[in-house]
Structure 1
Amino acid sequence: MAAFWFVVLLVAGFAATAADSTSKPTYVTSLPGLDGPLPSRLETGYVTVDEENGAELFYYFVESEGDPRRDPVLLWLTGGDRCSVLSGLVFEIGPVELVREPYDGVSLPRLRRNPSSWTKVASILFVDSPVGAGFSFSRDPSGYDVGDISASLQLVKFLRKWFSEHEDYLANPFYVGGGSYAGKLVPFITQKISEGIEAGVRPTINLKGYTVGSPLTGDSSDFDSRVPYCHGVGIISDQLYKCLLFLRACDRLKTIMLHCHRKGYSKPRSLICSKAMSQFNKLFDEISAPHILYSKCIAVSPGPSNARTTSGRKILKEEVGLLQNPPPRPAIECVEYTHYLLYFWVNNNATLETLGIKKGTVNEWVRCHQGDLPYDEDIENSIKYHRNVVSQDYRALVYSGDHDAVVPFLSTQAWVRSLTDLVVDDWRAWHLDGQSAGFTITYGNNVTFTTVKSGGHTVPEYQPERCFAMFSRWISNRPL
């Protein structure tokens, strides 16, 4: 909590210098480090969602490269522990990506165009949420005290305000999207937008559906499914998992099925189960959970609680690469290496000025805040919101990387199947370039579930071409 008050007192101290909450958006045609112009228009800005505390959400709106007056508009949210939506924009579905190359600590990391950007077929509204993520901030420290429900309602408020200022997009089909933890909030947000439409709230958003990737739900199966998944891919042994399923004699302290099955793996209720899960966790810790075939590397998302500080320095400085919260440097072959580069690209003065960041509102951009800001996980289980939304005939695309051990596809597949018994397109492969790109099933309530072959937890980060093919087909109402 000391780190939390360090951050919020800095924000409160700079409040007097922050620009007015009704400031105009910034229009960007090119980005520092990018050779040439952006493929489509980029707008950034702030929307006030809590007038009492002066809380503002920062957004990046990337117009479609196709027909922005007709193409769908997608709200995109990033999961993680208060992670910046730049993770989704730069690493997953946005129009640019960082060039993976050795960094000298002086020059600006380079960008290049992303050939698999979802902005080729849709305009995307990337929002830093909840307050405290990325460049979203609050002038009063109380504005950071939010949770699943309050942050979601702030996003609904954000959308109404944003569309009021961007009425040209009101007729466009609108979808809500997000991955990982954000996938827990997406159906709730979609339901609230739907309720507003039914109540005649203006402006009327042309809501069509939602999409979630490797989504958490809050249900215990999110993580309990790791056990059968790890058994299926050979991470844990039959002796640990399966032997007592067949009631054979086994080492009592090394079996999961008898002592934990149907009682919850994540919260063992017996000493025997606890010991078995301890053994499981040791084996699980040997792999890279976001993608089981990749090297296990250090995470690149330090918060102020584990930062090295430089006395008297603030984010808006002239030095390149001198950070209060320097990220750990992974090996260049790691997926996380570009996460490392992002810190130095974002915190460069040229980038901050180009994006229109309000001076004094954020001490320093960090990719994720690891528990140093208050947050209430008060949506216990979002499956009911999925059920509510699809019962209103809204479309849904739920997808999972088949090599993701953070939220294995087994649990996602199971709760999607629980939404309805009616199958209109049974389990089959879907293809790209003549090869299977994953497997999919479509249900009678406009719900499509699909796996992405060799996808990890942040699925488009690992399989951009396959995810673009999946999304572009679905968003245009074509079968996968």
Structure 2
Amino acid sequence: MINLHKIQILQLILISTLISFSQSQPKIIKSLPGYPGNLPFTLETGYIGVGKSEEVQLFYYFIESERNVEEDPLLLWLTGGPGCSAFSGLVYEIGPLTFNYSASDSASIPQFQLNPYSWTKVASIIFLDSPVGTGFSYGTTPDAYYSDDILQSKHVYEFLRKWLLEHSKFKTNSLYISGDSYSGKIVPIVVNEILNGNKNRLIPKMNLNGYILGNPLTDDHVSKNAGPKYMHRVSLLSDELYESAKTNCNNEFTNIDANNTKCLKSVQAISEESDLICSPHILEHKCTFVSPKPKKEVPTRNHTNDDPLNFLRGKQKCRNTHYMPSYTWANDIQVQEALHIREGMVDYWVRCNRSLSMYTNSVQSSISYHKSFAKYFLRALIYSGDQDKSISYVDSQDWIKQLDLSTDMHWRPWFVDGQVAGYVTEYLRFPYRLTFATIKGGGHTAPEYKPRESLAMIDRWLGLSSL
């Protein structure tokens, strides 16, 4: 009979050997171009090889908690897309740095300022560029760029195993797998991989406490059907059009019978109304996606007719333009040297790689994964900005209903500084607990629009307090 302890020792030796061959030593970054002086927090960057022959090299930013590194939770953060860099989550959503547009106006490189509402105030966070082809992550062979939802999730799990072996002091910290948008499909699969790995006694055993999802895409069919319902709820569709569409389509707006001309006309009318609205935030101007094309010279804000500073000045300009400094900053040679980016592996950094042509959206729904978690001691936080039309809070409400959980605490307001910050519902099927929260005024995704309220939410939830 094979000794289990010996198997675990062999596993550890094998994984440690793989790390030593594939992973350059992680680098502690003391300062960054664009930030005056030394960073007041601990930032680490590095690569970890995953997959067959470690042909996929995943790049990460790791920031230690600014409060209590030993006791605060560890979050793995996956930005959506698929193909949006973790840097986007770091500087535009929940990280400790954000661009200082006023100071950047006359500087040679975009300038940073501290984000007082960073989630690193209450947790350590690994921001991971995933899947391969995202941010500074790359493949060593052309075939390495072929990926899908399942393979990406397996790569993330492998990354996390190797990262924790390299950072053993975090193995006992509470672990939460986190992300937003398209990560609504990936995070539950990663959680499932961890649960199976722990069950099979893979090393290291992870102290998984739960998962966190913001504005998550969970089920393609549910999401498309929820669109008209949300638009009507927030007065973007007339009662007449919505009721007519429900009748003509029998509440099915996705798989439409080609012979049902009345339904087709109703859906077309809804689509025309929808096209007039800014999907990430229904109260903002609708603008084209800003993504400069690669050029020999690093692009500046002059590549657009708008200016990021104008948006913040309230001149009703496009929010998209305030993403422009990230292209200038991340493609700067000095910045890449400071981050210890491997030279020549990524031709041109983009915030969201919309050309992952070799990526297959292989999972249409992750609801079954959520259902399977009900037998585990896990906590889930699902949150949504209530002004997001692209993946609305109605979408999340609809798929959560399919989990058949008991309502432990009914829909009620939650507050920040005496003001309603959103609404929350608590669900329970012991030992599993799910919290669903909306963030008033938030868009896609909520922390970018409502950072103060988002920090209050995550601080209370991680601290086991009621919102």
In the alignment, structure 1 residue 293 sits paired with structure 2 residue 283: yes
Q: 1:109 to 1:210 in 2, by over 3 A?
A: same
Aligned to 1:435: 419
Q: 1:418 to 1:147 in 2, by over 3 A?
A: same
**The one of 377, 384, 389 aligned to 1:405:** 389
**The one of 438, 443, 449 aligned to 1:456:** 443
- Residue 97 of structure 1, CA deviation: 0.4
| Secondary structure at 2:133 match in 1 | coil
Q: Distance in 1 between matches of 2:457 and 2:300?
A: 40
| Secondary structure at 2:355 match in 1 | coil
Q: 1:104 to 1:115 in 2, by over 3 A?
A: closer
- Residue 266 of structure 1, CA deviation: 6.5
Q: 1:53 to 1:272 in 2, by over 3 A?
A: farther
- Residue 218 of structure 1, CA deviation: 2.5
Aligned to 2:11: none
Q: Which residue identity lines up with residue 354 of structure 1 in the other structure?
A: A
Bigger proportion of residues as helix:
2
Counterpart contact for 1:187–1:389, Cα < 8 Å: no
| Secondary structure at 1:336 match in 2 | helix
Q: Distance in 1 between matches of 2:134 and 2:304?
A: 20
How many pairs were matched up? 436
5 Å-filtered alignment, 1:62-211, equals: 62-101=63-102, 107-211=108-212
Counterpart contact for 2:215–2:393, Cα < 8 Å: yes
Q: Distance in 2 between matches of 1:429 and 1:103?
A: 39
In the alignment, structure 1 residue 262 sits paired with structure 2 residue 251: yes
Aligned to 1:283: 273
Q: Which runs of 5+ in 1 are unaligned?
A: 1-19, 243-254, 314-318
Q: 1:36 to 1:174 in 2, by over 3 A?
A: same
Q: 1:430 to 1:322 in 2, by over 3 A?
A: closer
Q: Which residue identity lines up with residue 447 of structure 1 in the other structure?
A: L
Q: 1:380 to 1:321 in 2, by over 3 A?
A: closer
Q: Which residue identity lines up with residue 132 of structure 2 in the other structure?
A: V
Aligned to 1:393: 377
- Residue 479 of structure 1, CA deviation: 0.9
Q: Distance in 2 between matches of 1:383 and 1:472?
A: 26
Counterpart contact for 1:177–1:183, Cα < 8 Å: no
- Residue 328 of structure 1, CA deviation: 4.5
- Residue 105 of structure 1, CA deviation: 8.9
Q: Which residue identity lines up with residue 350 of structure 2 in the other structure?
A: V
Counterpart contact for 1:220–1:264, Cα < 8 Å: no
Q: 1:35 to 1:229 in 2, by over 3 A?
A: same
Q: 1:266 to 1:107 in 2, by over 3 A?
A: farther
In the alignment, structure 1 residue 376 sits paired with structure 2 residue 354: no
Q: 1:158 to 1:329 in 2, by over 3 A?
A: farther
- Residue 78 of structure 1, CA deviation: 0.5
Counterpart contact for 2:256–2:263, Cα < 8 Å: no
- Residue 228 of structure 1, CA deviation: 1.3
Root-mean-square deviation (CA, aligned residues, Å) is: 2.1
Q: Which residue identity lines up with residue 297 of structure 1 in the other structure?
A: C
| Secondary structure at 1:222 match in 2 | helix
- Residue 69 of structure 1, CA deviation: 1.4
Counterpart contact for 2:49–2:159, Cα < 8 Å: yes
Q: 1:154 to 1:105 in 2, by over 3 A?
A: farther
5 Å-filtered alignment, 1:228-377, equals: 228-242=229-243, 255-265=244-254, 269=258, 270-301=260-291, 307=293, 310=295, 313=296, 320-321=298-299, 328=304, 330-331=306-307, 332-333=310-311, 334-377=318-361
Q: Tell which deviates more after alignment, 417-426 or 362-371.
A: 417-426
- Residue 454 of structure 1, CA deviation: 0.5
Counterpart contact for 1:81–1:371, Cα < 8 Å: no
In the alignment, structure 1 residue 465 sits paired with structure 2 residue 452: yes
Counterpart contact for 1:390–1:447, Cα < 8 Å: no
Q: 1:419 to 1:330 in 2, by over 3 A?
A: farther
Counterpart contact for 2:245–2:266, Cα < 8 Å: yes
Q: 1:391 to 1:267 in 2, by over 3 A?
A: farther
Counterpart contact for 1:100–1:337, Cα < 8 Å: no
Q: Which residue identity lines up with residue 98 of structure 2 in the other structure?
A: E
Q: Which runs of 5+ in 2 are unaligned?
A: 1-20, 312-317
Q: Distance in 1 between matches of 2:412 and 2:290?
A: 37
Aligned to 2:5: none
Q: Which residue identity lines up with residue 289 of structure 2 in the other structure?
A: A
Q: 1:433 to 1:349 in 2, by over 3 A?
A: same
State percent identity of aligned pairs: 40
Q: Tell which deviates more after alignment, 273-282 or 171-180.
A: 273-282
Q: Tell which deviates more after alignment, 265-274 or 111-120.
A: 265-274
Q: Which residue identity lines up with residue 258 of structure 1 in the other structure?
A: T
Q: Distance in 1 between matches of 2:335 and 2:53?
A: 30
Aligned to 1:245: none
